[in-house]
Chain A
């Protein structure tokens, strides 16, 4: 995905905690309702487990825990977004647990604020850009980058910093 592109690109937005995120639809394979997840022992907490996706075994990551946000009971809105990500040079399918899927957005690329230039401390490139509508922010995620890190990413502070930066 090329941020400099002036053309229109399509994104899928979803809610987590109080934040709204978006992922380029080219990464999205499909969206599933919450279903029973088989927990795999001796794995980090953000790895929720595995589900059966039409005969193949799909790992599911709880994005809340991955981003260092507080855990939450699942609701009727909880969904699994199946993504195709590049990890260690391989294309893998991966399910991500989110609070609720919102909508499909068509964004003009030049309306997206460039990658935030927050302090080098947090600048690991997980956020590709910001889109501001009314007073609400939508953060566009570089999902490959997010999963290139095996640990929990402390996102809370990053998000706040990004917002401060963009409102100024």
Chain B
């Protein structure tokens, strides 16, 4: 049972995420029926699952909300902020209920009652008619319904004998099915053995249900969502009208059952023919429903849940394969057998695709976590009476799932800080000549073998003087300490540091930037602050791709191999050593322009004699070009990146290593780091000259 409960929980988390996303979409586009439909669907699936696995509170709760959205769907109720606020609170509450399982805390229980009341208020407030409507829906009795919308279905549900051993009660499924509309249920008990042979834990009964519902066939299939592997299920569209309205059909079905006839599909189809219904109409409609059923099935198989250990194992194997494949390519070139080389090349191509696919599996776009930041901004800016828009850039940047999960809390904290301390109130902004709407930008991009995430606000910036004073007060530094701006900003990462003058509801809850820094360090990342008073603050997080394969350009300096990520490489050029050594201001003339370059032999302190002809690899850096001078270009290479480990933390120009086909280690260069370090030196030396 536990295992199924877990499975439901996993699905519930996804459903809640859908719910949250659609609710946010709805809040910006309140009329869009698509969003309402998704919300309704997610609620419905949540309700069904929770009822089945004994999450009674969630069941009761989502039922009420579903009712509300059903009214919205049918156009009897309008979406407004009250409903949306309630929805968001409800989403949080459902998360709590799910987390706490059966041991609800008092706060949760209290919240539960408040929210339930809130929904009831909305339902009753809404002009009275909907209330009747819901009531009518709830105890819809056969024969009363005269409207001819919806459709009638034949459902044969044959549970496997051991279904109850997994903790599923087949009766509750039948009950849920019955709740979808008018129905006739026939139970078949002939398989039940004599008492002395009866195993009480086995299920011998199966059911045939004739159901008229206004729900789609998908909803019927959803009822069986968690038991689809434990039963044989037959769902068949019978007709577009409520066949159960015809007493002749009811009687025929009943007498057939009483005669112990098998109500299998063909029998039922014969029994339910209505004199008036034209064959043609029936034909075409059953066709369309077949199509929709097919569509539903397609949707069901678009994603598969796989334990992450299996993925890790797969990735390890692919990494190994890539390394071995490199040996094969090398060896085949040495042997110089044409046929062998062709095979090796084919294998290389296939390996490359296999590698890309496999590594893509674990990566998910950061888009997945953006929803909750949008919500945070929406709610918090509302609470603090600030007007803030939240923008994102590069949300298709992909990161390992575990890294994304670890990033959510620190990023939430940073964004919360931006809203609370960064962005000013609209009045203040107006007086400063800034647009009233504040802006927070979340930007993600790749650089070398790293991913950068930046949160930028256009708020008031961080006052370094204030930070310094505060640090002195807290005894973190002495008043006469001579610190650079960066050093002062780094003080905010010290434990127990908080500049918030008043402890607000939002920040100053004892969780400070030190925790953010630690959490990011746990992901082997690094965080940096850049700020300008009254202009804004940028927090930038650097994260390594701990395990990854990149396409690289293999180059050689002296006896050492280096890999430059191919994505950054623009072109390669050949130069005489003298041309490079005589270059003025480290500029070389390429393609009608001067390009600055770093002579890597010098940068890396290689002392041997340089070759006569050297290569300059031109890489793109911040949209301008930059050259890296090396001895020799070996060729393209797909590199399995491995970390150098914490022994090499003191440098960052080499972001990792990779093992070549012959077993030697090649070092992976982060061109951005080489360039920024080089430019820094360049600026420094220029400064010295000008002095």
Query: A residues within 8 Å of B by Cβ?
Result: 36, 38-44, 47, 50-52, 55-57, 59, 61, 87-88, 90, 92, 94, 150
Would B665 and A59 count as touching, CB distance under 8 A?
no
- Taking a contact as CB atoms closer than 8 A, the residue among A47, A52, A55, A90 that contacts B320 in the complex is A55
- Taking a contact as CB atoms closer than 8 A, the residue among B603, B647, B659, B666 that contacts A55 in the complex is B659
Would A41 and B654 count as touching, CB distance under 8 A?
yes
Would B646 and A51 count as touching, CB distance under 8 A?
no
Bound together, the chains give a CA A166 to CA B648 distance in angstroms of: 37
Most chain A beta carbons < 10 A, residue from B644, B646, B665: B665
B410 to chain A minimum Cβ distance, whole angstroms, is: 21
Bound together, the chains give a CA A40 to CA B650 distance in angstroms of: 11
Contacts of B604 in A (CB 8 A): 41-42
- Taking a contact as CB atoms closer than 8 A, the residue among B560, B605, B642, B653 that contacts A57 in the complex is B642
B460 to chain A minimum Cβ distance, whole angstroms, is: 38
B323 within 8 A of A: yes
Bound together, the chains give a CA A42 to CA B651 distance in angstroms of: 6
- Taking a contact as CB atoms closer than 8 A, the residue among B323, B644, B659 that contacts A40 in the complex is B644
Query: B residues within 8 Å of A by Cβ?
Result: 320, 323, 559-561, 603-605, 642-648, 650-651, 653-654, 657, 659, 663-667
Contacts of A50 in B (CB 8 A): 644, 657, 665, 667
A104 to chain B minimum Cβ distance, whole angstroms, is: 27
Contacts of B659 in A (CB 8 A): 52, 55, 57
Contacts of A41 in B (CB 8 A): 603-605, 651, 653-654, 667
Contacts of A42 in B (CB 8 A): 604-605, 650-651, 653-654
Would A87 and B646 count as touching, CB distance under 8 A?
yes
Would B646 and A57 count as touching, CB distance under 8 A?
no
A47 to chain B minimum Cβ distance, whole angstroms, is: 7
Would B664 and A36 count as touching, CB distance under 8 A?
yes
Known: A39-B560, A52-B663. A57 touches B650 (CB 8 A): no
Bound together, the chains give a CA A92 to CA B649 distance in angstroms of: 14
Contacts of A44 in B (CB 8 A): 650
Would B648 and A47 count as touching, CB distance under 8 A?
yes
- Taking a contact as CB atoms closer than 8 A, the residue among B646, B648, B663 that contacts A88 in the complex is B646
Would A38 and B653 count as touching, CB distance under 8 A?
no
Would A57 and B657 count as touching, CB distance under 8 A?
yes
B239 to chain A minimum Cβ distance, whole angstroms, is: 65
Question: Can you report 10 residue pairs joining A to B where beta carbons are below 8 Å apart?
Answer: A38-B657, A40-B648, A40-B651, A41-B653, A43-B650, A43-B651, A50-B657, A50-B665, A57-B643, A92-B645
Would B645 and A55 count as touching, CB distance under 8 A?
no
Bound together, the chains give a CA A94 to CA B663 distance in angstroms of: 18
Most chain B beta carbons < 10 A, residue from A41, A51, A150: A41
Bound together, the chains give a CA A55 to CA B320 distance in angstroms of: 8
Would A57 and B320 count as touching, CB distance under 8 A?
no
Contacts of A59 in B (CB 8 A): 644-645, 647-648
Known: A38-B665, A57-B642. A47 touches B647 (CB 8 A): yes
A93 — nearest CB in chain B belongs to which residue?
A: B645
Contacts of A38 in B (CB 8 A): 560-561, 657, 664-667
Would B663 and A92 count as touching, CB distance under 8 A?
no
- Taking a contact as CB atoms closer than 8 A, the residue among B323, B559, B665 that contacts A51 in the complex is B665
Bound together, the chains give a CA A86 to CA B647 distance in angstroms of: 12
Contacts of A51 in B (CB 8 A): 665
Would A43 and B648 count as touching, CB distance under 8 A?
yes
Bound together, the chains give a CA A33 to CA B501 distance in angstroms of: 62
Most chain A beta carbons < 10 A, residue from B559, B643, B657: B657
Bound together, the chains give a CA A40 to CA B668 distance in angstroms of: 10
A120 to chain B minimum Cβ distance, whole angstroms, is: 27
B330 to chain A minimum Cβ distance, whole angstroms, is: 14
Bound together, the chains give a CA A40 to CA B659 distance in angstroms of: 14
Bound together, the chains give a CA A94 to CA B653 distance in angstroms of: 21
Would B664 and A57 count as touching, CB distance under 8 A?
no
Contacts of A90 in B (CB 8 A): 646
B603 — nearest CB in chain A belongs to which residue?
A: A41
Contacts of B663 in A (CB 8 A): 52
Bound together, the chains give a CA A59 to CA B650 distance in angstroms of: 14
B13 to chain A minimum Cβ distance, whole angstroms, is: 31
Contacts of A40 in B (CB 8 A): 644, 648, 651, 654, 667
A63 to chain B minimum Cβ distance, whole angstroms, is: 14
Would A57 and B665 count as touching, CB distance under 8 A?
yes
B1 to chain A minimum Cβ distance, whole angstroms, is: 39
